[in-house]
Chain A
């Protein structure tokens, strides 16, 4: 049996659960902003900040191990990385994913170079810095959990306050701009929340795990709902649940690293969602093909294309199959029974750039 009486287990489970909660909330926004890998880039971008903070604090006569100093360094260089992504995207014709790849690799390279210097400095003991990469979920102490609790409360509070604005930003940033919302500032706030979650997560559970927590619960929740509010709740719940189960399993059984267990539990939830929803769709639509149903959420034009052309829900024989009007793919479009697409609740916001069938769509001229 799980011994929650055990103080250490209790602290670890509580800390990671709160982190999963916050990451699920923030992850749902980044997922819909199509920036799922932002956490990946930002967490790598924090390494040089950690190394430089260590060097500066050693040079100033400290031990270099002061957590606030290191976390400040991480936050600053994470924000710098965020700025670089936005700048590359704005000032060049490189795409967002390339910008993320650049920031990720260059900043991490810089971090490795700085750590290389630190290790050969001789003075100061740099051994603990590595734990930022691999994490130390199993050895969280009460103070770490307190930091996580405060930061999670902050993140969830800001998300709740700015929920309406974030929703608008997720679905139609252009429209938000025409309505006079400060889109750039809102975007910065949203991404700063990612930075906050990543900083506390990096220190607590390591680099890869925090990326997973930002992506997987939100992606899994996406199967269950078409509404953002529900999506956020489900993602937060899944994040918290996978952290709790994973941390508990790691505490209960020998030789299971907690970080990996948490990720694998959330992967399990993701696979369950994928299979469960595909099955449910198959049952409700007879033999109409679960895949097409899963794809064409709402009554958009054929879901792989989503060129934004809204199609009337056809009646009669026409409702079975028709061609996508805009993209050259032969993939047939399947009318879906159900709620018509409303502008607020429909999650398949128009994408202009691509088509998941792999067929790029030329802008309509």
Chain B
């Protein structure tokens, strides 16, 4: 399901456009709701196309998200005369501008996105902690989960909803691609090092945070080393997580002599 984050993050465009056309404003809440609904719909449509069609999951995902993206593009262009929906902002994010947009929380000025992403983080954390056992069973063996009376299908959609919410909340700040990178790469890196889900979760969070910090520093330092100005932070974070994966891959290969196979 690794590509689901990619699919959802492209497919939310019509949600954003419709939310804008309905409310006529770029307020966060309707945009967020529109995008989250379309995100969940993406997961649902993918399931349908895969069930009805004779194609595998990747292809059905590709059909759904490209179509939704095109629909969104069409809506945006139709409304473009008086809209300022910047595709570049969705794509790259404007992480450098976050300190400028603040809200007051408990007497202190806090960047708005920090509050928003903090809420999403708590939501995700709560869901994972509360449903840890159920998620574990249904991720490894949905059939067993179903025979034990766990609603594996419901959990699947809950998970997809969380992916959609996280992706949408992160867009504005870090952009589409860093969301995908953060959804896939740290977990993949951790996956190379352990076979236990609990360890995997902790390691993945660690790698995610680590590559964010290192990436930010690298965005300032690396281009400067070659005599250029600084570069895009989100892009550099994604690149850093990839470098982390490469290092872990090489180290595990050298130490074991062969990959950790199933």
Chain A residues near B (Cβ < 8 Å): 31, 34-37, 40, 44, 88, 91-95, 97-98, 100-102, 104-117, 120-121, 130, 133-134, 208-209, 211-212, 214-216, 218-219, 222-223, 255-257, 259-264, 267, 270, 274, 278, 291, 294-295, 297, 328-329, 347-348, 351, 354, 356, 358-360
Q: In the complex the two chains form, is A94's CB within 8 Å of B192's CB?
A: yes
Whole-angstrom distance between the alpha carbons of A274 and B92 in the complex?
A: 35
Distance A261 CA – B74 CA, assembled complex (angstroms): 8
B235 proximity list for chain A (CB < 8 A): 108-116
Taking a contact as CB atoms under 8 Å apart, the answer to whether A102 and B74 are in contact is no
Chain A positions within 8 Å of B71 at CB level: 260, 264
Instruction: List, in ascending order, chain B residues with CB within 8 A of A222's CB.
Output: 53-55
Which residues does chain B contribute within 8 Å of A270, judged by CB atoms? 63, 67
CB distance from B69 to the nearest CB of A (A): 5
Q: A88-B249, A117-B228, A294-B53 are in contact. List 6 more A-B contacts (CB 8 A).
A: A37-B61, A101-B5, A101-B184, A120-B229, A208-B70, A255-B77
Closest to A297 in B: B54
Interface residues of B in 207-262 (CB under 8 A from A): 219, 223, 228-232, 234-239, 241-242, 245, 249, 252-253, 259-262
Known: A37-B3, A116-B231, A219-B60. A102 touches B73 (CB 8 A): no
Chain A residue numbers with a CB within 8 Å of B1 are: 97
**Known A-B contacts A31-B55, A108-B238; A259 and B152 likewise in contact (beta carbons under 8 Å):** no
| Cα separation A212 to B51 with both chains bound (whole Å) | 20
Are the CB atoms of B70 and A263 closer together than 8 Å? yes
Partner of B184 from the list A102, A121, A261 (CB cut-off 8 Å) is: A102
Docked-complex contact B3 and A101, CB < 8 angstroms: yes
Asked if B188 contacts A98 (CB within 8 A), the reply is: yes
Complex CA distance for A357 and B262, rounded to whole angstroms = 23
B58 at the interface (CB under 8 A from A): yes
| Residues from chain A with Cβ under 8 Å of B27 in the complex | none
Q: Which residues of B contact A347 (CB under 8 A)?
A: 54
Q: Decide if B191 is an interface residue (CB 8 Å cutoff).
A: yes
CA distance A105 to B232 in the complex (A): 14
Find out whether the CB atom of B231 lies under 8 angstroms from the CB atom of A211: no
Specify which chain A residues have a CB less than 8 angstroms from the CB of B3 in the assembled complex. 37, 40, 97, 100-101, 104
Q: Is the CB of A359 within 8 A of B74?
A: no
- CB pair A133–B91 under 8 Å, yes or no, is yes
In whole Å, how far is B142's beta carbon from the nearest beta carbon of chain A?
A: 5
Interface residues on B, range: 35 or more
B59: contacting residue among A109, A110, A209, A219, CB under 8 A: A219
Q: Would you call B50 an interface residue if the criterion is a C-beta within 8 Å of the partner chain's C-beta atoms? A: yes
B163 to nearest A CB, angstroms? 12
B residues in contact with A260, CB < 8 Å: 70-71, 73-74, 77
Any A CB within 8 A of the CB of B56: yes
Among A40, A211, A274, point to the contact of B52 (Cβ < 8 A): A274
Cross-interface CB contact of B232 among A112, A134, A295, A356, cutoff 8 Å: A112
Q: Which 10 A-B pairs have the closest CB atoms?
A: A109-B238, A106-B242, A112-B235, A116-B232, A105-B181, A263-B70, A113-B235, A116-B231, A212-B66, A36-B59
A360 close to B237 (CB less than 8 A): no
Q: How far is the CA of A40 from the CA of B180 in the complex (A)?
A: 13
Q: Is B2 part of the binding interface, using a Cβ–Cβ cutoff of 8 Å?
A: yes
Given A92-B192, A105-B180, A108-B177, verify A34-B52 contact (CB < 8 Å): no
Measured CB to CB, the nearest residue on chain B to A120 is B229
Q: B34-74 interface mask toward A, CB cutoff 8 Å, 1 = contact, 0 = none?
A: 00000000000000011111111111111100110111011
Which residues of B are found within 8 Å of A354, using beta-carbon distances? 57
Cβ contact within 8 Å between A110 and B238: yes
> Which of B88, B156, B253 is the one whose CB lies under 8 Å from A91?
B253
Cβ contacts under 8 Å, A359 to chain B: 142-143
Q: Which of A44, A102, A223, A358 contacts B242 (CB 8 A)?
A: A102
Given contacts A101-B2, A109-B242, contact A92 B59 (CB under 8 A): no
Chain A hits for B61, CB < 8 A: 36-37
Most buried by B among A208, A209, A218, A256: A208
Q: Is the CB of B185 within 8 A of A208?
A: no
Question: Which residues on the B side are within 8 Å of A329 (C-beta)?
Answer: 143
The answer to whether A113 and B55 touch (CB under 8 A), given A208-B70, A215-B66, is no
Q: How far is the CA of A152 from the CA of B32 in the complex (A)?
A: 42
Bound state CA distance, A255 and B49, in angstroms? 30
Within the assembled complex, what's the spacing in Å between the Cα atoms of A297 and B53? 11
**One of A35, A93, A110, A259 near B70 (C-beta < 8 A):** A259
Judge if B78 is at the interface, Cβ distance under 8 Å: yes
Tell me the minimal C-beta distance from B105 to chain A in angstroms.
31
Whether the Cβ atoms of A216 and B66 lie closer than 8 Å is yes
Q: Establish whether residues B52 and A208, one from each chain, have CB atoms under 8 Å apart when the complex forms.
A: no
B3, B142, B245 pick with most chain A CB within 10 angstroms: B3
Contact A40 B87 (CB under 8 A): no
- The minimal Cβ–Cβ distance linking A118 to chain B, given in whole angstroms, is 9
CB distance from B242 to the nearest CB of A (A): 3
Determine the distance from Cα of A219 to Cα of B64 in the docked complex, in whole angstroms.
11
Q: In the bound complex, how far is the Cα of B79 from the Cα of A255, in angstroms?
A: 10
Cβ–Cβ contact A37 & B58, under 8 A? yes
Per the bound structure, the CA–CA distance linking A106 and B252 in Å amounts to 20
